[in-house]
Amino acid sequence: MLEVEVAGIKMKNPLMLASGILDLTKESMEKFGDAGAVVTKSVGMEERKGYKNPVFCEVEYGILNAIGLANPGIDEYLKEIDGIKVENLIGSIFGKDENEFGHLARKFAPYVKAIEMNMSCPHAKKVGAEYPTEEIKGAVESAKKAGKPVFVKLGMENILERAENAIEGGADAIVAINSVKAMAINVEVAMPVLGNKIGGYSGRAIKPIGVRCVYELASNFDLPIIGVGGISKAEDVIEYMMAGAKAVQIGTAVCYEGEKIFGKICHDLEIWLDKHGYTNINDVVGIALKK
């Protein structure tokens, strides 16, 4: 009832752990056995310390963070995930140019089912949402040479043009969206809360933005879309899939409910589908596009 397939990858359900959530160590990722797939922490060429504290704070309806793509670098990270017991592991990478993306994809390829290119971190400048649109095609082409399906993760900004460039480069799926560029100010001390001042806003409040982006992508392009942003219950998954998503990723909600959220949502999805007369979750994909 819940099985889906994205770019040739068969998943027992459409739920994926989003990049950046409890996915830095082998042990933490192996806890998500109820997920259809797990996306790793975004990894770059070399160790990256990230931004100074504070890097995380809870705000109304969600979380604000500016971790700064902190990671140990590809070589050290591969040592960490060697032998990992995750059925569908997706390797997330970021880079400053097509050569870095190609190198990282080749390094990751023996360990993962697919590559996710992070081109949308809202506070990482050129290695994030500011990655030049005109260079996306070449970067995707370079990553594709590793021989694995390539997912391109995009933010809400200029998403159709950036998706078009990714698809021209051979992208096998588009992931949308990332956290939304935002900030908070502590009025008692009159200064920004985050050490980096600007961060990314995630959680329930951004779901309508994510749904809109998925709907527009599915309306314009014929390839799998993976929806991300504000998912915390079965109805959120259905909404994204009705907008055209083939699968979804869950991130911020894990901070509140832990790994058990995947099993809970899968259980509730089966109840919802049965109640509404569906025998397969794929039957709801894109139905809102037809009305």
How many CA atoms are closer than 13 Å to the CA of 27, on its beta-carbon side? 0
Query: C-alpha distances in angstroms, 34 versus 115, 156, 201, 271?
Result: 21, 28, 26, 17
Q: Look up 57 and say whether it is catalytic.
A: no
Strand duo 4-6 + 9-11: pairing: antiparallel
Given the residues 121, 213, 255, 266, the one annotated as active site: 121
Round to whole Å and give the CA distance between 18 and 81: 17
3-state secondary structure of 100: helix
CB-CB contact of 60 with 205 (8 Å): yes
- For 167-205, b/e burial (b = at least 16 CB within 10 A) is bebebbbbbbbbbbbbbbeeeeeeebbbebeebbbbbbb
Long-range contacts of 52-56 (CB under 8 A, 24+ apart): 52/195, 52/196, 53/195, 54/193, 54/194, 54/195, 55/194, 55/195, 55/196, 55/199
Question: Which residues have a catalytic role annotated?
Answer: 121
